[in-house]
Structure 1
Amino acid sequence: MKSSWLSKKYFHKFKTDPKRTVKGFRIDAVEDVMCNISINQAARAKKLAILKLQGDPSAQYALLWDYADEVKRSNPGSTVILGTNQNLFDRFYVCLHALRMNFLAGCRPVICVDGCHLKGPHGGVLLAAVGIDPNNNFFPICYAVVMRENREIWEWFLTLLKMDLHIENDCNYTFMSDKQKGLVGALQELFLMQNIGEDIEKYTHQCYRVQTYLKAYQHPIFPINGRDEWKKSDLSPPVPPKPVKRVGRPPNQAEDLK
C-alpha cells in the first residue's frame, strides 16, 4: 500500500477537512480498504494531500515579483516592497492604498503594532499595524513578512508606516504594542459638563460620529487577477530561505499522531 495512492484516493476528504488527524484517517482507511496501514504511511499520505491542496511553499517565493506588480496594478497607489539578500528572500511589505486612505479618513489616531512567528517550513515573522475604526473594530493598515525580528527590522517597518501615513508629528498618534490597553478616565469630566449645562457632543471626537465611520470604509480594495493573468516580471525570482528545522517534534504533529 503506497502513500501516494492513499493520498489520491482520500484527497477529497482532506480537502473538506484539512485538520483531520492522522489517527482518525488511518482508522477510516483501514476499514475502507481492508488492509493494514501504518501510522507513518497515513502521515505521509496526509502530507502529500495537503501539499497538493495548498501548494509547495518554496515555489511561492518565485511568484513574489509578479504578485507585487499585480497588487500595484489592481490597487494603484499601494506600497509593495520586496527585499532580497543576494536573491534570497529577506522581507516583504504591503500597504494597500484603500486601507491607507480609509484609516486617514475615518479611524482613530491609534496604531497598534505587533509581530508573531510563522510556523511554516521557512519560518519568519509576520509584522502588522492595525488601527481602530469608529465601531471599536480592528482596522488593518499594513503588514510585512520578515525573516527575523530585531530593532533594525522594526525601524524599517515603522519608517515605511510613517511614510505611508504621512506622519509628521508623532504626538498626534498613540502607538500601542503587545495589546496594552489605554485607560479612559473622563467620567467626572462628563458629569461636570452635564451639571453646568454644556453640550457633551461638542467635546466628542469626530471619530465617534456616523459620518466618520462611513469614511473609514469608502475606498474599496480591488481584487487581483488569477495567477495565469499576472504580468511576468523581468527580475530574477527570489529564492526561498533555508527550511527551519526545530528541535523535537512539532506540537501539532505530536498531537496528530496520538
Structure 2
Amino acid sequence: MALQRVKTVFYGRWIESCRYIDYRLLDVDPLLKRWQQLKLIRIVDDKDVSWIMLVLSKFPNNDLLIVVDTAPATDIGNTPYMSSELPRTEDSRTENVIIDLNAFESPNTVIHVRVGSMFSQKSVLKKSIYMLALNSSFELVTVRSNRTSFDIRCKDPSCLWYLRASVFKKSDIWIVRKFTDTHLCSVDVVKNDHKQATSWIVSECTKLIFKMNDKAPCRPSDVINYMKIHHGVNISYDKAWRGREIALNSIRGTPEDSYAMLSAFSDALIRNNPGTYTAEEADDEGRFKFYFMALAASIDAWNYCVLVISVDGAAMKNKYLGTLISACTIDRNSQIVPQAFVVVDSENYLSWSWFFRNLKAVFGEHNEMVIVSDAHKSIENGFNGVYEIAEHGLCAFHLLKNLKKNHKSLPMEDSFNKCARAYTPLKFEYYMRQLEQLSPSMRHELEAVGRHKWARAFFKRKRYQVITTNISESMNSTLKEQRELPVIGLLESRSSLIQKWFYERRTKWSFQRTQLSIYAEDMIRESLAQSRSMNIYPVDQHEFEVHHPLSTRNLNLHLYTDKFYYVSNLINLYKKGTRPIGTVNQIRNTHQGGNDGILPPQVKRPAGRPKKKRFTSFLEKKASVPCSRCGKKGHNCRSCKEPI
C-alpha cells in the first residue's frame, strides 16, 4: 500500500513521558473530528513496530499518523515511516532506499538518520553516524559493537541521545532499530580534537577533494586546513598524514596492488591503444624488477622526429622507491616528444641493458641514430652491449660538472660550452686553448673522455641541438609530484600527459598557415637578418661557407630547408592520439587473464623523513633578485641601507 501524508495540526500537545515514537490508526475522512477520542498506540519495542506494520497491511484504506514528542507539527511528514524510505517487510508494499557509499558523492552530503534507515554495510552506517556527530559538534561513545548489533550514545552520560542498529534478517544490510535524537549535553563536552575525527573519517571527508584534484599535491597541511575550515576540527599532523594515505590508497590503489596489476594495466593499454608495446620482468621469487612502456602514438611519431634520443633516470619517491627512466626526442619545432618510460628497481648495468634491448626492439637501429646520456658507466656498458650501429653521445652539462669538481673556482663555463657546440675543428681548437690556459691538465682530461663523444665538431652523426640531456631532465621535472604515486598511477599520468600534448599540438598544427614550423621560421628570419650583406656558398646539403660581405642574393630558402621542418610533417607526427584506459577499478574489472602475482621489490627505506627535493650541485646557482631600491643584490628594499 502507498501511505499518504496526513495533513493535520497537532495543537502543541506533547506526551512528556514518551521518549519513543507514538503511532495511532486514524480514518482519513473523519480525522479532524475524531482525533481527540482515539487512544495513542505507544511503540516501545521492535515487536510493536512489526505489529503496526502488519495492521497497516491489513487495512489499506487507513493512514498512519505519527506523533513525535521532539518534532514540531509542521515536520510530521518527515517523520519515520511516513516518507518514501519505508523499510521493506514481508507485508509492506513500499520500496525501501538502502544507503550505500554512492550517497557520499558530494563533499557536503548529510545523511538524515531515522528509525528504519537501512545501510548497505556497517561501515556506511558508522560513517553516516560519525559524520552526523562531526557536523553537529557532539562526541559519541560506543556501547556495543559486534557482527550483529551496534549501539552508540552521547559522550555525556546524562544526555538522551542514543542509537541502536542491527543486522536486517541475517543479511549484510543494517537497519536502525532505535534512535533518540535529543541532546541535553553541555557545549563544553565537545573538544577541539573530536573523538569521531579518526584517520578513517578524515580520509572519507577529504577523499572527494583528492578525486577532483588528483594531479594536485596532497600535503598533510592541506588536510589540516580543510578539516579546520569545513568541519571545525583540529587534527594532528600524524592523523592528517594517515588520513591522506588512506584516502589516496582508496583512490589510486595500494602500492602492493599496483605491482600485482601490471599485467592488467598492460592489457588495458594494448586494448585501448593497439600498437602499444609493454614488457615486464620479475626475479626468481616473483618480485618486480623492470617494466617498459611505449605508446602506439609515440612509436608512430618516431618516423617524423629527430633521430636523437635523450635518456635519463629520476628517483621515484613512493613506498618502494625505484628509478624512472625516460627516453625522449624532439620534433622539428624543438618540442619534447616522449618515446618510452621504464620503471626499474635500481639503476645498474642489468637494468640499463634490459632498457636498451626493449628500446631497440621498438624503435630499431638506424645509421643516423644517436643516444645521448650522462657519463654513468653502466649506461655506456649497457649501450655497447646492445647497439652496433648507433652512436652514443655524452651530455655536455654533466661533463662540465665533472670537470668543475677537479678545477673549482675557474671561469670555464663559457669556453667549454662554445667548445662543445663548435661546428668546425678550427673553432673547437680555439676554445680548447682557452681552457688549456686556465688549467693545462684540462685538455688531457677532456681528451681521455673522447672528443668524439661530446664535441659537435668531431661527432660522427648529427646531434642537432641535443647537446645535453635537458629534454629528459625537463620531462622528469614535468611530473615531479606524480613520482610519489604507485607504479600504475605514475605510468597512467605519463600516458595522460602524452594524450594531452598530442591533442593540443595536433590541433595547433592543423590551423597553422605557414609552410614551416614556428621554430624553423624564427631561425630562418634571424639568420636572414644577419646574412643580408654576406656571400654564402653551399659546401654540401647541410654545410655552407660564408665569405666577406660583398653583395646579396635572393634565394628561395624553402629549397634549403629539410622536409621534416614542414608543418605537414608535424601534422603526421601528431596524427595518432592516445585513448584513456580508465580507473584502477575499471582496469581490474576488465582484465581477462589471471593475477600475475608480481610482488613489490625488496627495498630498505632510509631512516628519517623522506626526501622530496634532490641535492643540487654546485653548478646550479640560485637566481638572486636585485633590490628594487638601489639595484644591488644581496638584500631587498626593506633592508636596503644604500643612499639614494
TM over 0.5: yes
Q: Does 1:62 align with 2:422?
A: no
Post-superposition offset of 1:94:
1.3
User: For residues 1-150 of structure 1, what are the structure 2 equivalents within 5 Å?
Assistant: 1=195, 2-16=198-212, 19=217, 21-23=219-221, 25-26=223-224, 29=227, 37-86=235-284, 87-104=286-303, 106-150=304-348
Q: Is the 8 A contact 1:61 1:238 kept in 2?
A: yes
Which residue of 547, 550, 571 corresponds with 1:214? 571
Q: Does 1:248 align with 2:608?
A: yes
Q: Is the 8 A contact 2:305 2:330 kept in 1?
A: yes
Q: Does 1:193 align with 2:541?
A: no
Post-superposition offset of 1:96:
2.1
* Amino acid corresponding to residue 569 of structure 2 in structure 1: T
Gaps spanning 5+ residues in structure 1: where?
A: 254-258
Q: Is the 8 A contact 2:314 2:324 kept in 1?
A: yes
Post-superposition offset of 1:4:
1.8
Task: Quote the Cα distance in structure 1 between the aligned partners of 2:272 and 2:233.
Answer: 52
Higher relative contact order (CA 8 A, sep 6+): 1
Q: Is the 8 A contact 1:130 1:142 kept in 2?
A: yes
Post-superposition offset of 1:243:
5.0
Q: Does 1:175 align with 2:532?
A: no
Aligned positions, number: 250
Task: Quote the Cα distance in structure 2 between the aligned partners of 1:236 and 1:27.
Answer: 41
Post-superposition offset of 1:134:
1.8
Task: Quote the Cα distance in structure 2 between the aligned partners of 1:173 and 1:69.
Answer: 30
Task: Quote the Cα distance in structure 1 between the aligned partners of 2:594 and 2:218.
Answer: 41
Q: Is the 8 A contact 2:327 2:338 kept in 1?
A: yes
Gaps spanning 5+ residues in structure 2: where?
A: 1-194, 375-394, 398-419, 425-526, 538-551, 614-644
Q: TM-score, normalised by structure 2?
A: 0.35
Q: Does 1:236 align with 2:596?
A: yes
Q: Does 1:227 align with 2:587?
A: yes
Q: Is the 8 A contact 1:67 1:230 kept in 2?
A: no
* Amino acid corresponding to residue 288 of structure 2 in structure 1: F
**Structure ranking higher in helix proportion:** 1
Percent identity for Structure 1 against Structure 2: 24
Q: 1:184 to 1:235 in 2, by over 3 A?
A: farther
The CA RMSD over aligned residues, in Å, is 3.2
* Amino acid corresponding to residue 61 of structure 1 in structure 2: Y
User: For residues 143-162 of structure 1, what are the structure 2 equivalents within 5 Å?
Assistant: 143-162=341-360
* Amino acid corresponding to residue 123 of structure 1 in structure 2: L
Task: Quote the Cα distance in structure 2 between the aligned partners of 1:150 and 1:251.
Answer: 22
Q: Is the 8 A contact 2:322 2:345 kept in 1?
A: yes
State the SS of the aligned residue for 1:193.
Answer: strand
Post-superposition offset of 1:197:
5.4
Q: Which residue of 2 aligns with 1:256?
A: none
Task: Quote the Cα distance in structure 2 between the aligned partners of 1:138 and 1:218.
Answer: 16
Task: Quote the Cα distance in structure 1 between the aligned partners of 2:350 and 2:283.
Answer: 15
Q: 1:229 to 1:246 in 2, by over 3 A?
A: same
Post-superposition offset of 1:159:
2.4
Q: Is the 8 A contact 1:110 1:176 kept in 2?
A: yes
Q: 1:10 to 1:212 in 2, by over 3 A?
A: closer
Task: Quote the Cα distance in structure 2 between the aligned partners of 1:244 and 1:7.
Answer: 27
Task: Quote the Cα distance in structure 1 between the aligned partners of 2:265 and 2:219.
Answer: 33
| Bigger Rg over Cα | 2
State the SS of the aligned residue for 2:536.
Answer: helix
